[in-house]
Amino acid sequence: MGDIVFGLIPTKLHGVLDYASVPLMLTVPRAFGWSPRLTHLLTTMAGGTLLYSMLTRYELGVVKMLPMPAHLALDAGSGLFFAATPRLFRDEQRCTSMLLGWGLFEIAVSLLSRTRPS
């Protein structure tokens, strides 16, 4: 169903977005001087994103074990977590609006991506 209704983003482009998000998650908290707690969290999430992207069955996957729908579910879960940061990190208000936007973008991309490689 994802391919018929929502599949606007090809899996290859999705892969490019996945791999581009890893250096962003590593750079943004350091560039903006975020707390060690958020910096560590984003570093961990960057590692997880890199790992499951490399394991995904799409054009940019390395090992190709993880089905694309499972990958999209992980992306949506990550997006939900980022979108929840204003509630989870109330003491980090200067960072949470950026993370909320990041989360909403990740949810949108997961919903708009194709579930099968071309």
Q: Give the model confidence (pLDDT) of 67-80 as tens digits.
A: 999 999 999 999 99
Cα–Cα distances (Å) from 35 to 67, 104, 116, in that order, read 35, 22, 38
CB environment 86-99: b (16+ within 10 A), e (fewer): beebeeeeebbeeb
**pTM for this predicted structure:** 0.89
Query: Who's near 97: CB < 8 A, 6+ residues apart?
Result: 86
CA angle 90, 25, 95 (to 5 degrees): 25
Would you call 93 helix, strand, or coil by DSSP?
helix
pLDDT tens per residue, range 55-109 = 999 999 999 999 999 999 999 999 999 999 888 888 888 888 899 999 999 999 9
